[in-house]
Structure 1
Amino acid sequence: MKRLIFTCSLALATACAQHSPTQPDTDQFMTDSDLEISKNRTKNLNTLERTQIQDWMKSQDVKYYPMGMNYWVNIADLDKLPRKNNGDKVSYQYDIYDFDRTKLYQNPLGNDNVEFGHFKEMDAVEDVIRYLRKGQEAEILVPSVLAYGTYGDGKKISNDMPLIIKVKVL
C-alpha cells in the first residue's frame, strides 16, 4: 500500500513538474494576414450595409441625415446643436428594431443618471444622446459595426445586424 501511494505521489509530482505554466499559443494570435483579412471583411461589410441602409432610406417617408460617426439620424443638423461633455449626466431609454421595424425587445433599454464618457451602450447611442435635450427623441440607423458587430448580443440580435434605434432623453 505504501508503495502504491509513493508511486502515485511520484507520478503526480513528476506530471506537475513537467507541466509548464499556461501560456497562450502563438497560434491564438492573429497574424498580419489574418488582421488584414478581418479589416477587409469589416470594410466590405460596412460598405454593403451603408448601401443597403441608404436604399432602405429612399423608401421611407422620414428623412435621415448622416452623422460623423457613420450612422444616420432623423433630425436635421443635430450635430450643429450644443454637445454635452464627458462628466455631464443624463437619463435615457431606447428601443431596438430590425430593418423590418420589428421591435427586438419588449421593454425599453436604458439607464438613469449616467455620466457621459462612462456609457456601456453603443457609441452611436451615446453620441446622439449628447445632442438631445430632455424629453427629445431621435431615431438612428446604425450599421452593425457600430451596433453589436460580429457577435451580436447573444440574445435577439444576431451577428452583423444593422439596427434602428429609437432613443429618448428622460
Structure 2
Amino acid sequence: MKKLIFISVLGLLSCNRNSQTPHPPVGGVLSQNDLDVSKERMRNLNGLERKHIQEWINNQSVKYYPTQLNYWVNAEGYDTRERRQDNTFISYSYELYDFDQTKIYDQPIERRDARFGHFDELKAVENALRFIHDGEEVTLLVPSSLAYGTYGDEKKIDNDIPLIIKLKAL
C-alpha cells in the first residue's frame, strides 16, 4: 500500500502543468501572442512548401508558372487572362493528387452550374476557375494554405498537405 501511495505522490509531483501550453476551446479566443506564433508557423510552412514545390517542378518535363495568388499552373499567362465576373455560371470537375502523384479520391469532385460569388470552393480552385476557358484542363500546384490548411478535409486529406489539382471546365 505504501508503494502505491509513494508512486501516486511521485506521479503528481512530476507533473508540471506550467510547461503545458493551454489551448482554447474551439471557437475560443487566442491571445495576440498565440496569433503571432500561428502566423509565424504558417509563414515558415508556406516557405518550406513553396521550396519543395519548386524542387518538384524542376524535375518535371511540363513547365509551371506562378500565379498572383501563390499557386502554380501549367498555362502561361494564366492569371492575366480575362477574368470571369461574379454571378456568372460555370460547370467544372477536378481531381486531387498528392505530390507523389497518388490520386486521393477515386471519383472527381464535380459541380454543375455553380455561380461565382455564391459557392464555397478551395481558394486556388475558385481563383483558377475565374481564368479557365470552357473545355480547358489545367493542373494546379497548391500549397496547403490554399488547399485544406491546418485541418485537412477530415476524410482522406491530412492537415498541412500541398496538393496537385487537375481542374477542367466542363
Per the normalisation by structure 2, the TM-score is 0.83
- Tell whether 2:30 aligns with 1:30: yes
Q: Please tell me the residue identity of whatever aligns with 1:148.
A: Y
SS at match of 1:117: coil
Gap runs ≥5 in structure 2: 1-23
Taking only aligned residues, the RMSD between alpha carbons, in angstroms, comes to 1.2
1:114 Cα offset (Å)? 0.6
Does 2:138 align with 1:138? yes
Q: Give the alignment's TM-score, normalised by structure 1.
A: 0.83
Computing the radius of gyration from Cα coordinates, the structure with the larger value is: 1
Deviation at 1:110, TM superposition (A): 2.0
CA distance in 2, matches of 1:102, 1:142: 15
Residues 1:56 and 2:56 aligned together: yes
Indicate the larger mover: 47-56 or 112-121: 112-121
Deviation, 1:148, is: 0.2
Mapped pair 1:118 → 2:122: no
State the partner residue of 1:44: 44
Describe the SS at the equivalent of 2:129. Answer: helix
- Aligned residue in 2 for 1:129: 129
Q: Give the paired residue count.
A: 145
Q: CA deviation at 1:123?
A: 1.1
Structure 1 residues without counterparts, runs of 5 or longer = 1-23
The CA deviation string for residues 111-134 of structure 1, in whole angstroms up to 9 with x for no partner, is 100111122110110111111111
The 4+ residue runs of structure 1 with deviation greater than 6 A are: none
2:156 match: 156
Matches within 5 A, 1:56-95: 56-95=56-95
Identity %: 51
Measured in 2, the distance between the counterparts of 1:76 and 1:54 equals 16
- Output the amino acid matched with 2:144: S
